[in-house]
Structure formats: structure tokens, C-alpha cells
Structure 1
Amino acid sequence: MHVPQEILQFLQQLNGYMHYQNEQIRQMDAKLQDVIQELKRLKQHNAEPPVIRNEYRFDLLKVEKLEGTLNIGINPNGSDSDSSIEEFAVEQTLDAPSLIEKQYPQLLPDLQQQVDNYLNNGAYDSLNELESQYKYPLDTQYRKFIVEDVKKQTDKRIRDYLKRVRPDDATPEQLTSIQQSVYEDVKRDIEKTFESFMKNMLRKENGT
């Protein structure tokens, strides 16, 4: 039975992605076991456990579910450097409304709509450009999977950037500027996530 080349290519891409997922899950499980052992040790010594922090690197696609999740990285300084790191305490609640959300309730839905418009249109153009740049074509179904997976995570990224807005800047006159700035930050994070995904897929395919 002859299998079309497009299906073979998709299966190869999917296999590489799942291999990458499994490796990330294995690493996360090992780190979790280390944390459990450390907590047991501290408990035995009646010590106050330290605040445990997770490191979110923008250049790493951390997988949280077996079916696959491309985590959008956070680049707090607005830099394109792959070495930027944002640390969050485990118990920190990222979904708590920010000051500016409380002052201007319409700002969040406006940003959500703006980001959705990009994901429904410009994001596919960005992926196409990366496919050409890295000579790694994706089929339509796989490309849609990537975009839809990222789309599920954008609300947290928007809220995180809104929390960085200083109260003094949150004036009605500054709303348009604030909205555009947050949109550009989230859009940049999405595009760098796409690029990181492409690089990692190529590394896995080449065995590096």
C-alpha cells in the first residue's frame, strides 16, 4: 500500500515532537523526585522549607501534558536574548487581576481580541517564514495544532505583562500606548516560541 508523502512527513514530524515531549516529561519527573526527597529531608530535620521556584526559560519548550503543550516563554526585559529568565514562586497566582485590569475592565478583552486576531492570521505567516528560513515545512494540520496550542496560553501572558504596568502610567491617556506595548510583548513571545519549537524539532531530527 502506497502511503502519500505528506502523511509520511506529518508522521515523522509528530514522532519527533512526541519524542521531545517524552524527554521533557522524563526530566521534569526527575526534578520532581529531587524536590520530594529534599522536602522529606527538611521535614526530618524540622527545618523551614525554602521557597521553591520554577525557572521558565524562553528558549525551552516545557511540556506539561502528554498530548503536548508549547509553553509561551516570558521575556521580562523586552530583550531577544535566549538567556532571559523569569522566576515565579510556586504558590504565586498568575491569574489574579492587576491594578490596571480593575481600573479599566475593557483593556483585557480588547487585548485578548487583538492577540486572537494575530493568531488567526499573522501567526500563520510567521510560521511560514520560519519554515522557509529553517527549510522545515509543516503541513496545514500540524501548523494549526501549534497555533491552537499556543492560543490556549495567551491570557496568562497578557495578564502577566499587565501586572508590570506601573500605577502612575495607568491613566486614560496612556491606555492606547499600554495596550499596544503589551500586545507587542505577547506577539514577540509567541513568535520566539514558534522559532524555539522549530529549532528543537530540527535538533531532534538531526540527533543533536
Structure 2
Amino acid sequence: MYNNDLFKYMQQLHQYIQQQDQRILQLNHLIRELKKDVEKIKSQPVTNVEKIEYKFDQLKVEQLDGTLNIGLNPMTPDQIDNFDVQQKGMNINGVQQQLREQLFRLCSEEINQFLNTDCAGFIEQAEQQFDLRLDEPHRRHIIEDIRKQIESRINYYINGQSLTEQDSLLDKKQEILLQVKKDVENSIMHFLQHLPKES
């Protein structure tokens, strides 16, 4: 009995260390990306605007047309793209929507890979933890039930992100995958924990 408890503890400890190791690798990758971004920002020319005084009482507008550039760097005119103005606000060439769709595809592919390969192993580990034994059809049923809910979970986490072209989709994908996988694992643990044991 003591050896069995020690074995379970060692398994859990090993799994925890692996998760921490994976997290450290992800954080190191994130730090490298942030350093690159900082270096990129440092290398850009700086525009210094001293003091601007507006005297609106002397301003006379007879005709209003042309292009208004707000928040764009005049030093890099190649950044200026066509803007599609919609009633609900500004949509920069549908960039937000394109980024969300691209991020959804990336996340869906990886989560489906996780469900196809690693999820069954996680269920088996959880079964051992709760001293249960499920048959293969039952495991497949759990995975397929989760698969039906995955799309809404991915969209939920994507909609919580504010995306710009400067964001690294790989970093955003990793954040979302960690959250979705955690949700999957928590739901499996909750389901098995409340499953009646056979006498």
C-alpha cells in the first residue's frame, strides 16, 4: 500500500515537473520575442514634437477633404494602408477578423491533435488516480463529447484577446492552448471524480 502511494506521488511529481519545464520553455521563448521587439523599437527613429499651439478662433475651414492620418508614424509612410470605415467603427482591412480566423485555425489544429493523441493517455492517468477502469468506447465517448465543445472554448479565449498585426500569433496560440487544455483536463478530472465506482 505504501509503495503504491509512493508510486502515485512520484508520478504526480514527475508530471508536475514536466509541466513546469514546458512552462519555462514557453516563458524563455516569450522573453526572446520580447527582447527582439524591444530591439526593434529601439532601432526606429524618434520624432520629437516640442510645443504645438492651436488658435481655433483663427481657423477657417472652407472645404474638408483628403486623408487624415491618426496615430501613424510620418517617418514610415509605407505603413499607411487603405482604411475601410464602417458604421460601427474602424476596421483596418479586416485585420482583426483575419487574425482571429488564423488564430482559430492554428488552435483548432493543435487541440484536435491533442484530442487524437494525448487526451486518451491523460484519461488513463486520471483513471489510475481515481482507481477507475474505463473501456475504450467509454474513453472515446468522453473525447468526442469534449470535441463538440472545443470550438466554443477556443472562440471564447480568442474573443478575450485584443489582436494587432504586431502580436505574435504563436505566443497568443500558446496562451489559448494552455487555457483550453487546462479546461479539457479539468472537465475530465471532474467527470471521473463523480463517476460511481464499481463494487
> Could you state the TM-score of these two structures normalised by the residue count of structure 1?
0.47
Larger Rg: 2
| TM-score, normalising length: structure 2 | 0.49
The structure, 1 or 2, with the larger RCO (C-alpha pairs under 8 Å, 6+ apart) is 1
